[in-house]
Amino acid sequence: MSRALSLWILGYALSGCSVTALAERERTTAVNECTSSSDCGNGFCSEGACLARPAQVSLEHVLFELTPHSTATGFGGKPVYLDADIPLSGEFDLDFGGFAEITVTARVPEACRGASFVSYQEPAGSVPVVADTLPARFTLIPSVGRLGLVADEYRAEVNTELLEAGNDPLPHAVRFRGALGAYDVYVEPRALSASLANDDLLRSKCTLPPQLIRQQPLGSSALAPLTVKLPSPASLGVQVRLPTAYSLEKWTVDLVEPDGGRLISTTQTIPADAKSPYDLDPPLYFYPVWTYGNPDADTSSTELVRLSPPAGLSAPTFYYQRKTVEIFDRGSAVIEPPPALSVPVSFEGQVLGAGDSRPLSARVLLTATELANVGSGVSATFEARAQTDRNGRFTVALLPGKYRVRATPAENVDEYAGAEALWEVAETPRRQTGRTLELPARIELRGRAVFSWNNSGVFGALVAVEPSKVGAGSSLLTRALGAAPPAPRFALGSISNVSGQFSVGSDFGKVDFSVRPPDASKLPWFVMAGVDLATDLESPKQIAPVALPLPIRLEGDVRIANAPRRAVELYPARYRPAQSRLRAYVLLDAEGQATRTVSEARSALPIAETRVGAGDRYTLFLPASVNLPVKTLN
């Protein structure tokens, strides 16, 4: 056992709350109830429930998520969020920002007012600028998505059919019904048309690449216009030093942002007659990623120059950080792919159950961590995916090199855990077989959920084991090079034993563990974040009693702003929050510690959940404390 203590043998001095024994055998769940504060250990009794005293409360800031009920069709089923400091207990109304009709336009730079763009109706047609706006595709991604929360995208493209049919010109726009809040806005302008009016000078200024704007706030009114003002793009001249051992014909060069890998530039294709050194003509036009309210936040030249093979060719994709290839002048880059590429080999592997050698159905991901003939300092990515057959076998084409191989059992193979291995693929022979990846049995976690003050059991609750939110985010290259940690599958168990005994199977890896009593129990969740289930643990693993903390109780009205008054009067069920799901999260920084600032947060950890009542009121019992330090179970 290492210095990181065994799970929950941590001596958390968490105060519990009383569960009366009356009619316990008839109950399906433990209930938080009391007649006096003497029933509550170190807590106090309030309105028949045990609560934490102020000195025991460390929870200060919560992100609330309201997901409208399916009957609330006026809101489209999209969640809304409220970020707030919370009181120690008591009345606390929740006023969510609501929904709006969002109109989005993109305004061209002044020099591009005379430009025309390709038509999707007529191959040789053109679409003009109207009222300084241009046709484009828009994608709005809720910024909370980077915290691991629901982030359904809104996506639409400007329809120019009526304009091209001779109707009165209206500004090029798209419309969404969406939740108010902060969005990452991705704009993809149409390409310039072949019109003679688009001369060389105009093309040099108005070849507009995609643009990504992060954390763009979206108004506070029922009509929320959003105009994206496109500046003149920056340019990056790229010289490609062509290899002699293989051809780069039809390979493409572009720029992507380093986090999500979204395209942020125009794309150039290397022609068959290119001679080395080959200078892209025209250069790449691009927009640096911009964060709303902080225009200098993303000017460190961290964009990635990407050199991609044509579809169907088994070859790596090369990435170069812009600031490392702008050797002589800013705005001018030189990239040099490796002098030679290896020939792909046919590779056959098998996935078996450890111990019984049973062929298993599994998804297999093979990610190159290092490729043959690719020197240091060059990021070369390559991956292959496969599904095993009934004999547990799979066959893929691989480039020689070193691979991180991960296998995830099929949904109906729940007794085995996912596993990974490092395999090396040689350049010869051209057909390689005999590799086996064994999947271990899932680790069984056994324990007892209790109230710490009297050791009485918590029953009727769910036990959840899910991929950890701590340090969950990773960059494009971290993922593409196989360096991101594996994600254990979500596992769920239940506690039916009145003593609080539970057993739940889990994959290995970093997980968040929680005990979730039902809403009506007036009990808080127990949450432990960032627990490392090491692969050398013996199963079953008996863990120390899980002590639920005393709760704090928040209650109040739930309101959604901007609901159309007349529609609410006619169709109240469509626009009211009643029966909607209300969930609370604590914000975590990169180290897994609680933070009160959304901009500093890297993830959001769920800590409580309820349903809004028929009168649009809620009552939520939150844990007074959450166990956030990362612990290791081994």
The residues with which 118 forms a beta bridge, in sequence order, are 126
> What pLDDT does 104 receive?
94
Q: Which residues of 17-32 are buried (b: 16+ CB within 10 A; e: fewer)?
A: bbbeeeeeeeeebbbb
Q: What is the pLDDT of residues 39-57, one digit of tens each?
A: 999 999 999 999 999 999 9
| Contacts with 95 (C-beta within 8 Å, 6 or more apart), sequence order | 82, 559, 561
For every residue of 201-251, DSSP letters joined together read HHHHHH-PPPEEEEEEEE-SSSEEEEEEEPPPPEEEEEEE---SSS--TT-
Distances (CA, A) of 429 to 271, 346, 400, 405: 33, 9, 10, 20
Chain-centroid distance, C-alpha 42: 39
> What pLDDT does 237 receive?
95
Closest CA relative to residue 285, chosen from 213, 202, 216, 194: 202
Tokens of 40: 């509550």
- Sheet with strand 99-107: strands edge to edge: 174-179, 99-107, 223-229
User: How far is Cα 248 from Cα 244, in angstroms, rounded to an integer?
Assistant: 10
User: Residue ranges of the chain with pLDDT lower than 70?
Assistant: 1-26, 72-77, 220-223, 295-300, 453, 563-569, 571-574, 629-634
Angle at 633 between CA 418 and CA 516, to 5 degrees: 80
User: How far is Cα 278 from Cα 364, in angstroms, rounded to an integer?
Assistant: 39
Distances (CA, A) of 89 to 339, 520, 584: 67, 18, 15
CB 332: neighbour CB atoms within 10 A?
A: 16
**Matching residue, tokens 């309105």:** 47
**Matching residue, tokens 């109780």:** 553
Chain-centroid distance, C-alpha 338: 33
Judge whether 425 and 345 are in contact, CB under 8 Å.
yes
The dihedrals phi and psi of 161, each to the nearest 5 degrees, come to -60, -45
Judge whether 66 and 83 are in contact, CB under 8 Å.
no
Q: What is the C-alpha radius of gyration for the chain, rounded to an integer number of angstroms?
A: 29
Question: What is the pTM for the complete model shown?
Answer: 0.88
Side-chain half-sphere CA neighbours of 375 within 13 A = 6
**Matching residue, tokens 């010869």:** 428
**Percent of the chain residues past pLDDT 70, beyond the cut:** 90
> What pLDDT does 101 receive?
81
Return the amino acid letter for 470.
V
> What pLDDT does 513 receive?
93
DSSP E strand boundaries for 241-298: 252-256, 268-269, 278-279, 284-286, 290-291
Judge whether 442 and 417 are in contact, CB under 8 Å.
yes
The dihedrals phi and psi of 559, each to the nearest 5 degrees, come to -130, 145
Tokens of 248: 């780069």
Q: What is the pLDDT of residues 341-379, one digit of tens each?
A: 999 999 999 999 998 999 999 999 999 999 998 987 789
Return the amino acid letter for 202.
L
> What pLDDT does 408 receive?
95
Judge whether 586 and 65 are in contact, CB under 8 Å.
no
User: H or E element: which one contains 379?
Assistant: strand 379-381
User: How far is Cα 362 from Cα 390, in angstroms, rounded to an integer?
Assistant: 10
User: How far is Cα 570 from Cα 568, in angstroms, rounded to an integer?
Assistant: 6
The dihedrals phi and psi of 423, each to the nearest 5 degrees, come to -120, 145
Tokens of 169: 């010109």
Judge whether 634 and 543 are in contact, CB under 8 Å.
no
Q: Counting beta carbons within 10 angstroms of the beta carbon of residue 430, is it exposed (0 to 12), middle (13 to 18) or buried (19 or more)?
A: exposed
Backbone conformation region of residue 246, classed left if phi is above 0, alpha if psi is from -120 to 50, else beta: beta
CB 478: neighbour CB atoms within 10 A?
A: 14
The residues with which 367 forms a beta bridge, in sequence order, are 383, 404
